[in-house]
Amino acid sequence: MRTIVNSLRLIAVIAIVAAVLAQWLVSSKSPDYLFWNFFGYFTIQSNIVIAVALALTLVAAARRKRGDVLVSGLRGAATVYIATTGVVYNTLLVGAAVENTVPWSNDLLHKWIPLYAVLDWLLFSDRARLLLRHVWWFLVYPAVWLAVVLIRGATDGWVPYPFLNPEQGYGVVSLYCLGVAVFIGLMGILVVGMSRLRIVKV
């Protein structure tokens, strides 16, 4: 079972790298392309974070350090972020028109990787038990990302997603931000609870 789980995680890491690279190769040819804009999307960042977390989990498994608290904490946080990507995209952004999108990459990064990451965290036992206080740490990165996006939206007009566009009014933007923040907090609590489950022993 351990070999199967590690193989699945390795495939997920390779798939994420391939999907991000494929989209970057297309997006970089656009006359409006900017490096910081492409990597400013929460989708790209959260997929990179989960890829790093899964890769470190593989390294920990190879070194016989399964259940390491730091690695588990990072993987738990990454699971929250990628789940947020999946839910926000499939509820708020699925119908949004985006130029130069690579269809298979888009589906992988927004649907299949989020689904896999949540199932990986839920099912497999090789993770430390997290505490509720870890949820506060989960909120740090999204808060910093959001602050940077809102500052950029107010200064140079760039926002990665339509629901963060200040032109619709900061009251509306604030409601969206509050909704996403509540979801991340609840998802963090759920991820902490899942860390106590031992469904499939690895």
pLDDT-derived band at 27, boundaries 50, 70, 90: very high
Q: What pLDDT shows up at residue 96?
A: 67
Q: What is the DSSP letter of 127?
A: S
| Helix, strand, coil percent values for the chain (each to nearest 5) | 75, 0, 25
Q: What pLDDT shows up at residue 24?
A: 96
Residue with tokens 């888009």, as numbered in its chain: 106
Amino acid of residue 84 = T
Please state the domain extents for the chain. Answer: 2-194
Amino acid of residue 29 = K
Burial label for 103, CB within 10 Å (0-12, 13-18, 19+), is exposed
Q: How far is residue 15's CA from residue 191's CA, in Å, rounded to a whole number?
A: 23
**73-111 pLDDT per residue, tens:** 999 999 999 999 999 999 888 766 567 889 999 999 999
Decide which of 64 and 9 is more confident. 9
Residue 198 tokens, joined: 């031992």
Give the angle 146-147-148 at the CA atoms, nearest 5°: 90
Q: What pLDDT shows up at residue 97?
A: 59
Say if residues 137 and 74 touch (Cβ distance below 8 Å): no
Q: How far is residue 124's CA from residue 198's CA, in Å, rounded to a whole number?
A: 7
Q: Is 200 helix (H, G, I), strand (E, B) or coil?
A: strand
